[in-house]
Structure 1
Amino acid sequence: MADYPCVELGPIAHGGHCVARLDGRVVFVRYGIPGERVRVRITDDSKPRMWWGEVAEVIEASPDRVIPPCPVAGRCGGCDFQHVAVPRQRELKAQVLAEQLRRLAGLDIDVTVEPVPGDADGLGWRTRMRYLVRDHRVGLRAWRSDELVELPVGGCRIAHPGGPADLGRFAGHDGELQVVISDDGCTVLGPGGELLTGSQIVTQHVGGRAYRVRADGFWQVHPGAAETLTAAVLDGLNPKAGEQVADLYCGCGLFAGALVDAGCRVTGIEASRSAIELAKLNVPQARFHAMRVDKAGSRLAKKTDLIVLDPPRTGAGAGVVRQLAGLEPTGIAYVACDPAALARDLATFATCGYRLESLRAFDLFPMTHHMECVAVLRPH
């Protein structure tokens, strides 16, 4: 260990790394906590001005450092924060979100990352898992690698306990296993999406509605996420009966269902044809179109009162933001899983006459650096 350089860890950065400095160079360090003194193992020195590394030895530990609940934490790439007490994890995420908003959107606001009710220890929540199979061994990928890290006894600690007790019986062929826990049971998909057990179409219940979802399609992975996000969107927008709403990147119709039940007239746009077919079944009271959001102008009502925007991790982008601002809605609810993309789009909305009215962030991915946000915008 003496060969590894000693550094003091600075603030947390987007992606779950702590920022440190070594010989005038920035080093992004995994598995640390701000304020700690550690020895760091350099894992990537390919760029002259910034390196990446991971904690090799803790010299002065933070009081928030804990023993990771998983014995392969630090080897598996799925979790960033198992060494951090759960309340401090949320503080670190809040700091990242605040810093991205300040740097990219010029917004200086206090941020709190809210826990999901009933999620005390941050374990056993992930209802959609991807496992790697090699030579009849089942595991998870190492960080940014295809290296297999075999599952420990007891399995992945953040995986929902409703999955198969013995994944080995599905390890007949190399490739990827997908395990999906839904309200109607467990589905396992093998390499190439082959159905091994369960159903290709699963059911999720939210707000009194049953949503049919492809097992290999998109659905929030935390069991409390859909209810939490739906409530936050409705609370933020306060939709009125008869209002015209555009639900963009609508998936299989989660927000559309809640908005229809609030009495709104809803048009949903989503590029995935299979998701749209399910959305039509899930929410027959709404209109849906399978197309890209940036090409959807003619499908949206000229008088659009409200917009729900739930883009992929890369964000909506400046072109879509300007197009939506041109509809002059009275409220926009932006659901975001990446704080940097959110901040960039908020900055563009500001140039189009929309201000941030409220922002809520939720810890829907405990033990990782990820979070989900709901931002509500109103015209100046």
Structure 2
Amino acid sequence: MGDWTGRELDLEVGAVAHGGHCVARAEGRVVFVRHALPGERVRARVTEDTGKSFCRADAVEVLEASPDRVQPPCPVAGPGLCGGCDWQHASPEAQRRLKAHVVAEQLERLAGLSWPVEVEPLADSPLRWRSRARFVTGGDGRPGLRALRSHDVIALEDCPITLEGAAAAGLDRRARPGTEFEVTQDARSTVHVAEIRPGGRPRQLQGGVAVERAAGRTWRVAAHGFWQVHPAAAETFAAVVAEWAAAPSGGRVWDLYAGAGLFASVLAEQVGADGQVLAIESGRRAVRDGQSTLADLPQLRWRVGRVERIVSTVEPRADVVVLDPPRKGAGAAVVGAIAAAGPERVVYVACDPAALARDVATFDGHGYRLRALRAFDAFPMTQHVECIALLER
């Protein structure tokens, strides 16, 4: 068969796949094609071939375009260029349809569920939403972002998906190659910048404590710690979690992977002074931020550590469980511990549809069924999509 790297192929592009690419076939092999859209005919150049049944390629010429194709708003969104975005060549409506297809396909393939999915926008524009970004300097000392699956840095004059203040603060700098600039623009439009030199520790250049607003509160959190990246996400997700959790007055609730306690705050209001919310989070700074912001909620109790270690050591009883795990998902042990606690409802916030589908299948084995799902375009122009799922016993 030989190594196809560098070879050009004329391809009929098939369906979108999880990962920001579409699927095509050539000579019996699967080709994962970026910068293409379903239904197009393209000339693609193979960028990676590890000798397996598939290879990766970039569409370098569009021979027959999809009606969903648009001109990318960023000049470096293209083959071999910046790897920060996946779908700038698709209209916003088409991007959401592609993501909906991916979520539905993962649920069907991994959980055996046929579920209609609609991805909802969080804002009118798919640009200027990223409030947090990390830029890196290339060999010439200019900041930018890396090319996809590469250490090469593509220098940027601007990043159209990033809030203007954050983009300017991160890109209007010069430093030795490999230096990273982590930037955050908070709810007050204050910009925070940290510098991370190769082999060094982060050094705060400006700011450091971000002020955010959500769920009827003002939050002071570590500027470069965990907080939702899209400015509308925290408020939206907290509202959905509150609606679906519907924690009973006086009830017992778990908030797993709690961050600074965004969801714990709405759960604590629901259970009231006679209830109890257990928030488990591994990040010590996030816990300190949450304890400070939520000091008026004595019904909220914190545990610091990895969820999979702590959840099996607490009293196994909960009326409702909310979890927002990392990209890899919760996993069988955590799902089993949740099921053993016997909650009536589980609200699962997911940033990866494959991980969500695997965990939904595991919950199903414990007697919990998917009852509702909402998906949000919290990361426009990229492959990423945020889902919130309601499971009931």
For residue 241 of structure 1, report the CA deviation from its aligned partner: 2.2
SS of equivalent to 1:163 = helix
Output aligned runs, 1:139-218, within 5 Å.
139-152=144-157, 155-163=158-166, 165=168, 167=170, 170-174=173-177, 175-184=179-188, 185-191=190-196, 192-198=201-207, 200-218=208-226
SS of equivalent to 1:165 = helix
Of 138, 141, 144, the residue aligned with 2:143 is: 138
Matched, 1:363 2:377: yes
Matched, 1:31 2:45: no
Letter in 2 for 1:26: V
**Equivalent-residue separation in structure 2 for 1:169 and 1:40 (angstroms):** 35
Deviations, residues 146-179 of structure 1 (Å, cap 9, x unaligned)? 2111113xx1010012326364554234410011
SS of equivalent to 1:257 = helix
SS of equivalent to 1:111 = coil
**Equivalent-residue separation in structure 1 for 2:357 and 2:167 (angstroms):** 39
**Equivalent-residue separation in structure 1 for 2:49 and 2:281 (angstroms):** 41
For residue 48 of structure 1, report the CA deviation from its aligned partner: 2.8
Letter in 1 for 2:161: I
SS of equivalent to 2:88 = coil
For residue 109 of structure 1, report the CA deviation from its aligned partner: 0.9
Contact 2:159/2:167 (CA < 8 Å) preserved in 1? no
Letter in 2 for 1:210: T
Contact 1:212/1:252 (CA < 8 Å) preserved in 2? no
SS of equivalent to 2:17 = coil
In the alignment, structure 2 segments of 5+ residues that lack a partner are 1-6
Q: RMSD of the alignment, in Å?
A: 1.6
Matched, 1:51 2:60: no
Of 333, 340, 343, the residue aligned with 2:347 is: 333
Of 83, 91, 104, the residue aligned with 1:85 is: 91
Matched, 1:289 2:295: no
Matching residue of 1:73: 77
Contact 1:244/1:301 (CA < 8 Å) preserved in 2? no
Matching residue of 2:284: 273
Letter in 1 for 2:301: R
Identity of aligned residues (%): 48
Matching residue of 1:252: 260
Q: Cα–Cα, structure 1 residues 77 and 168, in superposed 2: closer, same or farther, change >3 Å?
A: closer
TM-score w.r.t. the length of structure 1 is 0.95
**Equivalent-residue separation in structure 2 for 1:98 and 1:340 (angstroms):** 10
TM-score w.r.t. the length of structure 2 is 0.92
Deviations, residues 8-41 of structure 1 (Å, cap 9, x unaligned)? 0000000111000000100000011000000010
Contact 1:136/1:168 (CA < 8 Å) preserved in 2? no
SS of equivalent to 1:262 = helix
Matching residue of 2:117: 111
SS of equivalent to 1:180 = strand
Contact 2:10/2:44 (CA < 8 Å) preserved in 1? yes
For residue 263 of structure 1, report the CA deviation from its aligned partner: 3.5
In the alignment, structure 1 segments of 5+ residues that lack a partner are none
Q: Cα–Cα, structure 1 residues 61 and 67, in superposed 2: closer, same or farther, change >3 Å?
A: same
Q: Cα–Cα, structure 1 residues 301 and 205, in superposed 2: closer, same or farther, change >3 Å?
A: farther
* Number of residue pairs the alignment of both structures matches: 373
Contact 2:351/2:385 (CA < 8 Å) preserved in 1? yes
SS of equivalent to 2:134 = strand
Structure 1, 132-141 or 56-65: larger mean CA deviation: 132-141
Contact 1:257/1:282 (CA < 8 Å) preserved in 2? no
